[in-house]
Amino acid sequence: MKVFVAGATGAIGRQLVPRLVAAGHQVHGMTRSEDKQGLLRELGAIPVVADALDPDQVAEAVANARPDVIVHQLTALTGVERYSARAAAPTNRLRIEGTDHLLSAGHAVGVRRFVAQGIATFGLYARSGGPVKTEEDPVDPAPAKDMRDGLAAIRHLEAAVLGADWTEGIVLRYGVFYGPGTSLALGSSQFEMVRKRKFPLVGDGGGVWSFIHIADAAEATVAAIEHGSRGVYNVVDDDPAPVAEWLPALAQELGAKKPMRMPRFVARLFAGEAGVMMMTEMRGASNAKAKRELRWHPAHPTWREGLAAA
């Protein structure tokens, strides 16, 4: 197939493009930057220079490529170390306007599948009921204040992609990425914070995180591109775990002392309402549907065996 990847140079794009090429697909990889065309060629893609926020550029790029499938992996999260409404704003634009431009460009050429990056964590699922959520479970009706815009952008993306009745619209709700090129990798600032005991255990550390190795995220994406059906899929590992479990384990693996403990009201001053929510109330996600329907199995089934070495 011809696959058009928007976000081909990002953390997941760099894993995804070579896998698609190895599977025999022709890949058109989009970047804003003339300078990154060489990287895209090395990955095996045909480079396409366009700004995702410019509808004419996107329409022209997609019309020239005439793809069978569009993949939307656009974010603007490089260098974002701590969640804030301000830091999320450029990504929100990519999830609203970027999605709309790609969808209308795809409609014009009649793409048969449209696969987009969503989230399974960061406050998507309601903070009530059990600790691990399926795709059927409700999303949070009242998100933390500084996450409202971010979640509204995600809901826009999901509604637009799933509502596109002229194509097979698929949203992959990824877990927290770790591994090469992500913010949880050897030498990353987040790992340094854990090593220096600057990543505290807030409250009871009851927030449940679902991780996914970036290579597994790319493998699931290939499966969705090749044989996914309209709908949402959680793309997470087999081992959702509360912060009280994974953070001390990660600290130990990194050779650091036990994380400091911090009461919620103190943490709110440093990490805001969103940070406290992620540490204490967030829910994890189940990958049963992705395994069953995409016939995908993570090669890294648990963060316990490789998060610190990522």
Q: CA dist 193 to 178, 196, 225, 256, Å?
A: 15, 5, 36, 10
Q: CA dist 152 to 6, 145, 289, Å?
A: 21, 11, 24
CB of 53 to ligand NAP, least distance (A): 5
Q: Which residues pair with 46 in a beta bridge?
A: 28
d(CA 121, CA 149): 15
Which residue number, 154 or 244, has a Cβ lying nearer to ligand NAP?
Answer: 154
CB of 32 to ligand NAP, least distance (A): 3
Q: Which residue is nearest to ligand NAP (CB)?
A: 10
Which residue number, 77 or 193, has a Cβ lying nearer to ligand NAP?
Answer: 77
Which residue number, 118 or 272, has a Cβ lying nearer to ligand NAP?
Answer: 118
CB of 65 to ligand NAP, least distance (A): 14
Burial pattern 12-47, b for ≥16 Cβ within 10 A else e, equals: bbbbbbebbbeeebbbbbbbeeeebbebbeebbbeb
Q: Please count the CA atoms within 13 angstroms of the CA of 247 that sit on its side-chain side.
A: 27
> Of 99, 132, 156, which is closest to residue 289 (Cα–Cα)?
132
Which residue number, 212 or 265, has a Cβ lying nearer to ligand NAP?
Answer: 212
CB of 10 to ligand NAP, least distance (A): 3
CB of 205 to ligand NAP, least distance (A): 19
Q: What is the phi-psi region of residue 177: left when phi exceeds 0, alpha when psi lies from -120 to 50, beta otherwise?
A: beta
Interface with ligand NAP by CB under 6 A: which residues? 7-13, 30-33, 36, 51-53, 74-78, 94, 119, 174, 176-177, 182-183
Which residue number, 31 or 221, has a Cβ lying nearer to ligand NAP?
Answer: 31
Q: Which residues pair with 140 in a beta bridge?
A: none
d(CA 249, CA 246): 5
CB of 31 to ligand NAP, least distance (A): 3
CB of 39 to ligand NAP, least distance (A): 8
> Of 300, 278, 297, 279, which is closest to residue 287 (Cα–Cα)?
297
Which residue number, 46 or 266, has a Cβ lying nearer to ligand NAP?
Answer: 46
Which residue number, 32 or 304, has a Cβ lying nearer to ligand NAP?
Answer: 32
Sign (positive or negative) of CA dihedral 282, 212, 164, 288: negative
